[in-house]
Amino acid sequence: MIRNPVLPGFHPDPSIVRVGEDYYLATSTFEWFPGVRVHHSRDLVHWRPLGGILTERRLLDLSGVPDSGGVWAPDLTYHDGLFHLVYGVMDDYALGYKDVANYLITAPAVEGPWSDPVRLPGRGFDASLYHEDGRSWLLNMVFDSRPGRGFSGIELRPLEGGEPELILPNREITEGPHLYRIDGWYYLMVAEGGTGYEHRVSVLRSRSMSGPYEDDPAGPMLTSRHDPGLELQKAGHGCLVRTQTGEWYLAHLAARPYGNRRCVLGRESALQRVVWEDGWPRVAGGVPAVEVPAPALPAHPWQDDGSFALDRDWSTLRRPATPDWLTADPGGLTVRGGQSPYGLRSPSLVARRVTSRTCSLEAVMRFTPEGVHQSAGITAYYNSRNWHYLALTTDGLVLTTSDRGVRTERLLGPAEGEVRLRVEFDGPAVRFNHGPDLDATILSDEYADEFSDGMARAFGFTGAFVGFWVQDLAGEGCSARFERIAYP
C-alpha cells in the first residue's frame, strides 16, 4: 500500500514525471534553498530525497523575497532526452500585485548539470510545459493586477514563439494547469478554490488543444472541502503519471490540520490511484485516501544510513549553502553569523522540515558571544514574523517568541561555551530544553496568513522547520559550531 502523505511536511505543489522505471517528484520551496526539492522512487511507495535542483545563485536569487515568496509551483517534464524544469520566482505578491518571473532550465539527468535559466513569456504564475510531436507549449494562469480583477484564466502559447490563447476563463481561483493528450482527447487539469480548505482538482477535456473545454460531469476529481473529518484536508493541485504497467496515479497536495484547523506541518504531497470511467480520469469517491493500492511494480525500498547529509535533508533560508558562511563535515556544522531574525537578505539559518506532530532536534553548540550583536541557538521556525528561538547571548540562554512580529523574551538562566540544545514538538506544544510549553500552532500556514482590507500582506505556504540560527548584526565574524546533531 501507498501510505499518504508520501512526502510528509512542507512539500507542496507536486509535479511528477516518469522516465523509464524511475519516478521523480518535484515540489515548491518558496524562500528556501536549494530551490525545487526532488524525490525519487521506483515503486511509488518508497521515496528517497535527492536534494534540490536550484542550488546556486546562477539558477535562483532569493535575496529579499518576502515570506512565502520565491519558488512557486515548479513543473518537471521529460522530452527529447532532456529534463525540463519550469519554475516561477515570486519577488512580491502584496497589495494586489504579483511580481513573478518564469524560467526554463534543462538537463540530461535530474542531477544536472542544468542549463542557464531562460526567461519565459507569461502573464502569471504556475507555469507548465506540454510536449507533443517534437514541439512544446507553455501554460500558465493569467493574473490581472487591476483593482477587482486578479485571477483571469489559463493561457496557452507555443514555446517557440507565437500569440497566447486564453483556453479557459477563470472560474474560482483557477490555477496550476497541466495538459495531457490521451486517446484523442486533450485533458486540462487545474487547481481551483484557492490553496486552503476549498481547494480541489478539476479536469476538463476537449478534442482541440485550444478548446473549448468541458467539465467532467461527475464534478471535481479530488477535494476535501465537503468533509472536515477527512485526515487529508486541502486536497488539490494535481499532476498525473502513468506507470510502465499502464496504471494511473495522481500526485496532489494535502494537509493534516491540528484540532484548531492550523496546519503546522504545512502542505504535503500525496498520491491517489486513478481509474478511467466514461473517458474521464477519476479518484474513488473524489476524496483523498490515506492508504492507496500500490501499482504492480517490484518493491524498491531504500535505506537511510542515518548519516548527516546537508544537501539531502537540510535547507537554508534565502541564500545557498556556500562555504563563506556554512560548512558541514562528518562531525557537524559550522555556521557564520548573519542578519537579524527579520532580515530578508542574508540570514544564517540552516533547518529541516518538521514532518511529524512529535519530533525533536538536538545538538551540542560551542559558541561564545562577544557582544550584544551576537547570538546563536536552536529554533522552531515558520517565517520571519513567526518563530521560537532559544539563543545563547551575553545575558545567558534567552528564549524568544516572535508572534506576527511581536517579540517576547524569557531569560532561562546563565550559560556559556558549550551548551546542549533541544527543541521538541509535541502536538500543539513546542518546548526548548527545560523551558515552558509554547504554542506550536503559530508556526502554521493559517496563522502566517495576514490580510488587510481584503488584500494579502503575508501568505503562509511553507510549514514549520527546526534548525540552527546564528546572528552577527555588526558583521564582526562570529561563528557557532553544532555537533552531535540528532533528528528525530
Q: Is residue 299 part of a domain?
A: no
Q: Position 203: which residue type?
A: V
How far apart are the C-alpha atoms of 122 and 129, rounded to whole Å?
12
pLDDT recorded at residue 94: 84
pLDDT recorded at residue 304: 82
Q: Are residues 161 and 223 in the same domain?
A: yes
Q: Are residues 283 and 338 in the same domain?
A: no
Active site residue 449: no
Active site residue 450: no
Q: Are residues 321 and 262 in the same domain?
A: no
Q: Are residues 242 and 345 in the same domain?
A: no
Q: Return the bridge partners of 177, or none.
A: none
What is 368-414 written as a DSSP string? ---STTEEEEEEEEEETTEEEEEEEETTEEEEEEEETTEEEEEEEE-
How far apart are the C-alpha atoms of 8 and 269, rounded to whole Å?
7
Tell me which DSSP letter residue 6 carries.
Answer: S
What pTM value is reported for the model?
0.97
Q: Are residues 241 and 356 in the same domain?
A: no
Q: Are residues 73 and 215 in the same domain?
A: yes
| DSSP 3-state of 440 | helix
Q: Of 43, 75, 155, 175, which one is the catalytic site residue?
A: 175
- Asked whether 463 and 10 are in contact (CB, 8 A), the reply is yes
| Separation in Å, CA 147 to CA 54, 97, 150, 195, 233 | 34, 10, 8, 21, 31
Q: Are residues 319 and 229 in the same domain?
A: no
Q: Are residues 282 and 370 in the same domain?
A: no
Domain of residue 280, residue span: 2-292
Q: Are residues 274 and 338 in the same domain?
A: no
Q: Is residue 303 part of a domain?
A: no
Domain count, the chain: 2
Q: Is residue 187 part of a domain?
A: yes
Dihedral sign for Cα atoms in the order 152, 189, 106, 66: positive
- Asked whether 252 and 235 are in contact (CB, 8 A), the reply is yes
Q: Are residues 83 and 211 in the same domain?
A: yes
Q: Return the bridge partners of 191, or none.
A: 175, 201
CATH of the domain at 283: 2.115.10.20
* Secondary-structure percent of the chain, ordered helix, strand, coil, rounded to 5: 5, 50, 45
Residues in the chain where the model's pLDDT stays below 50: none
Task: Name the grid cell of 85.
Answer: 524544469
The backbone region for 181, taken as left when phi is positive above 0, alpha when psi lies in -120 to 50, beta otherwise, is: beta
Q: Is residue 300 part of a domain?
A: no
Burial of 417 (0-12, 13-18, 19+ CB in 10 A): exposed
Task: Name the grid cell of 276.
Answer: 478511467
- End-to-end, the C-alpha distance of the chain in Å comes to 25
Q: Are residues 207 and 136 in the same domain?
A: yes
Q: Are residues 202 and 348 in the same domain?
A: no
pLDDT recorded at residue 417: 87
Calculate the average pLDDT of the chain. Answer: 96
Q: What is the pLDDT of residues 368-422, one digit of tens each?
A: 999 999 999 999 999 999 999 999 999 999 999 999 999 999 999 999 889 999 9
Q: Return the bridge partners of 22, or none.
A: 19
